[in-house]
Amino acid sequence: MGHILKLKGAKSAFILPLILMAAACGISSGDPEDREPDPKTEQEWLIPFSEIVESGHGRDGVPAIDQPVFALARQTTYVPDNRMVLGVHINGTIRAYPHQILDWHEIVNDEIGGIPVAVTFCPLTGTGMCWKRTIQGETTEFGVSGLLFRNNQIAYDRNSDSYWLQMHLRGINGPHKGYKLETCHVIETTWATWKAMYPQSRVLTTETGHRRDYDTFAYGEDFATDHNEIRFPVQNVDIRLRNKDRVFGMLGPMTPDDRPLVRLYALQHFGDGVSLIQDRMETEDYLIVGSSEYNFATAFRMEPGTDLDFRSIEPVQNLLPVVMEDPDGNKWDIFGRAVEGPRAGEQLTPARSYIGYWYAWVDVFPIFHLYQRR
């Protein structure tokens, strides 16, 4: 079932807590520019301090891209059809960020449709998302801290030096501890699917300002499909799916103990064509759209008081990026935009969601519900 793990770099799981405690006690050596950031004290983290590990790269050892350069999708030739991309659509601007660049940089500080955003990807957990860079009225940039929690990226922001756990989408240490990031809608799919849907979109180029071989795989060609290769120790294992099966997850309403309800959907279970799932968490209704054939999933939350009934919407086949239609003849695209019909121009509210490896969801959010078709 793929639950025997080949752990790499686990030694640092025991070394880093000693380094962090030394820093917290004011013990340091060497050039100040070479030191790791002061992690404060154990009590100031919202995640278990003992499980924070050093990736081996150090702060900014994986360099974020701060001045991204783009080209038209139909003119982009360096991305193989089967490689994955993250697609973002904000205020009429549509951009794609290929995994083969994100593998090497993990964060792109960008501005899309006039909105400052960070597009982030953690290769170890297979999680890609986009969040706004304006926090409590101040716009910042994000960098790669070199720290991990349960294999997931911990970012830092350059204004406040707060730390952010990517999959939690919240600050976990520093002045913004507990702050929940405002996300932007992301579609993760193959390059073949994306360029067929949005040939006029713009795509991140290899002009990153850094020397990397973007034709290769940062973690090896088989890393994303080798279910036994997980770089750092895991705390929770569930063998209902294979470790690196791609799973779409939604972070729903918050519970009294300040954790989100989590609902998971295996991409392999959506089937060919476009499928729709109506689901509910607490008092909130969601519409999940996905396709195993086209390798994507996304979700929308019904706003209170809306006159649009998710139960009346039907999937649309062979018309990507249009994926669904309501009884009034409105056609909705993959980003939840009405592109035809009486509601043309309206926008559905995207759910707080992203795709990641099964093992990562299980480990970072051990309390969850796995959707099963009846």
CA atoms lying within 13 Å on the CB side of residue 226: 13
Phi, psi of 16 (to 5 degrees): -60, -45
Tens-level pLDDT at each residue, the chain (374 residues): 333 344 444 434 433 443 343 333 332 333 334 434 445 566 689 999 999 999 999 999 999 999 999 999 999 999 999 999 999 999 999 999 999 999 999 999 999 999 999 999 999 999 999 999 999 999 999 999 999 999 999 999 999 999 999 999 999 999 999 999 999 999 999 999 999 999 999 999 999 999 999 999 999 999 999 999 999 999 999 999 999 999 999 999 999 988 999 999 999 999 999 999 999 999 999 999 999 999 999 999 998 888 898 889 999 999 999 999 999 999 999 999 999 999 999 999 999 999 999 999 999 999 999 998 76
Record the tokens describing residue 27, joined without a space.
Answer: 């013990």
Residue 239 lies in a domain: no
pLDDT in the model for residue 39: 52
The reported pTM is: 0.89
- For 141, other C-beta atoms within 10 Å of its C-beta total 15
How far, CA to CA in Å, does 160 sit from each of 54, 78, 122, 140, 330?
A: 21, 37, 22, 8, 45
What's the structural domain count of the chain? 2
**Residue 289 and residue 212 share a domain:** no
DSSP-based three-state secondary structure for 205: coil
**Residue 269 and residue 216 share a domain:** no
**Residue 329 and residue 221 share a domain:** no
**Residue 78 and residue 150 share a domain:** yes
What is the residue whose two structure tokens read 């294979």? 242
**Residue 4 and residue 83 share a domain:** yes
Domain final residue pick, 233, 266, 289: 233
Residue 188 lies in a domain: yes
The parent domain of residue 214 ranges over 1-233
Domain final residue pick, 178, 198, 233: 233
Residue 32 lies in a domain: yes
pLDDT in the model for residue 43: 67
Parallel/antiparallel/unpaired status of strands 142-149 and 138-139:
unpaired
**Residue 250 and residue 228 share a domain:** no
**Residue 22 and residue 165 share a domain:** yes
Record the tokens describing residue 116, joined without a space.
Answer: 């400052």
Residue 220 lies in a domain: yes
Residue 284 lies in a domain: yes
Residue 240 lies in a domain: no
**Residue 282 and residue 188 share a domain:** no
Residue 76 lies in a domain: yes
Inter-residue contact 155 to 107 (CB < 8 Å): yes
Residue 287 lies in a domain: yes
Compute the distance between CA of residue 286 and CA of residue 291 in angstroms, rounded to an integer: 17
Inter-residue contact 123 to 223 (CB < 8 Å): yes
**Residue 273 and residue 223 share a domain:** no
Domain final residue pick, 186, 208, 233: 233
**Residue 309 and residue 211 share a domain:** no
**Residue 276 and residue 200 share a domain:** no
**Residue 68 and residue 213 share a domain:** yes
The DSSP result for 104-166, as a single string, is: HH-EEEEEETTEEEEEEEETTTTEEEEEESEETTEE--EEEEEEEETTEEEEEETTT--EEET
Inter-residue contact 87 to 201 (CB < 8 Å): yes
